[in-house]
A = this chain, B = another copy of it.
Amino acid sequence: MTQENFKSPLLTVDSVLFTIKDNSLKILLLKRKNSPFQNSWALPGGFIDVNRDDSAENTASRKLTDKTGVTPPYLEQLNTFSSKSRDPRGWSASIAYFALIAHEETNLKVTPRNDESAQWVDVESLMDETANYQPLAFDHQQIFQFALERLKQKALYSMLPVFCLPKEFTLGEYHTLIEIILGKSIQKKTLYRRFEASNMFEETGETVATGARAAMLYRLKEDAELVNFERNLG
């Protein structure tokens, strides 16, 4: 049985890029210029360019860098979504990636004001399918929800979400971020203990004030490795 007996499916890459902005969790969406799903919002992605990309991760990274101007500090493979019906052009598979970035570090090529083709979209608004909800292209709603689940899961047992924050951040910002991701309140003490125990961060020496006592700024250590904890947050 050789490959020639088989029609080859379409193969694409799509990424769910999260950030925290204006006190809410958002993902990057693009408005499609072409058919199918012309004018629908879709995840950033596209076909693998076998002449440029050594691997699918390469494709994902390249596409995200194209759109945001910077390489996301965290990128991992999420899942591959395949079926004969997810793309009207035929049997297709999309290798989906999951990425985090600080929106402050990005430089979206096209800002919403000039052209609505690239936009940070509030996760809440995507979950709420009432009102004037426009469905995402393809099965991108499903991919997004899969990614959101993974982000929530990882927030329970790792410091992963820090990659949504700028290079220097306060414990308070981290605390807020986690509460937004998990959608419930978490004890500061618990997060501070984990933050300390992870040994991933160092004080910058600077502090920043938000109307009250100044907070210490932290940054990732040079050689920091992502730590997994033995227990989940409740």
Contact = CB atoms under 8 A, between A and B. Distances in A.
A184 interface: no
Interface stretch (A2-10, A116-124, A161-169, A171-179): A2-10
A193 B80 CA distance: 36
Total identical chains: 2
B48 A91 contact: yes
A79 interface: yes
Contacts of A8: 8-11
A101 interface: no
Interface stretch (A15-23, A49-57, A104-112): A49-57
Interface residues of A, number: 38
Contact of A50 (B9, B34, B51): B9
B84 A54 contact: yes
A222 interface: no
Contacts of A57: 82
Nearest to A13: B82
Contacts of A3: 10, 47, 89
A49 B80 contact: no
A51 B90 CA distance: 11
Contacts of A11: 8-9, 11, 93
B93 A56 contact: yes
A1 interface: yes
A206 interface: no
Contacts of A46: 1
B79 A55 contact: no
Interface string A166-198: 000000000000000000000000000000000
25 contacts: A1-B34, A1-B47, A2-B34, A3-B47, A3-B89, A6-B49, A6-B50, A7-B50, A8-B11, A11-B11, A11-B93, A50-B84, A50-B90, A50-B91, A54-B84, A56-B80, A56-B93, A57-B82, A80-B80, A93-B93, A93-B95, A230-B231, A230-B232, A230-B234, A231-B231
Interface of A: 1-3, 5-11, 34, 46-51, 53-57, 77, 79-80, 82-85, 89-91, 93, 95, 230-232, 234
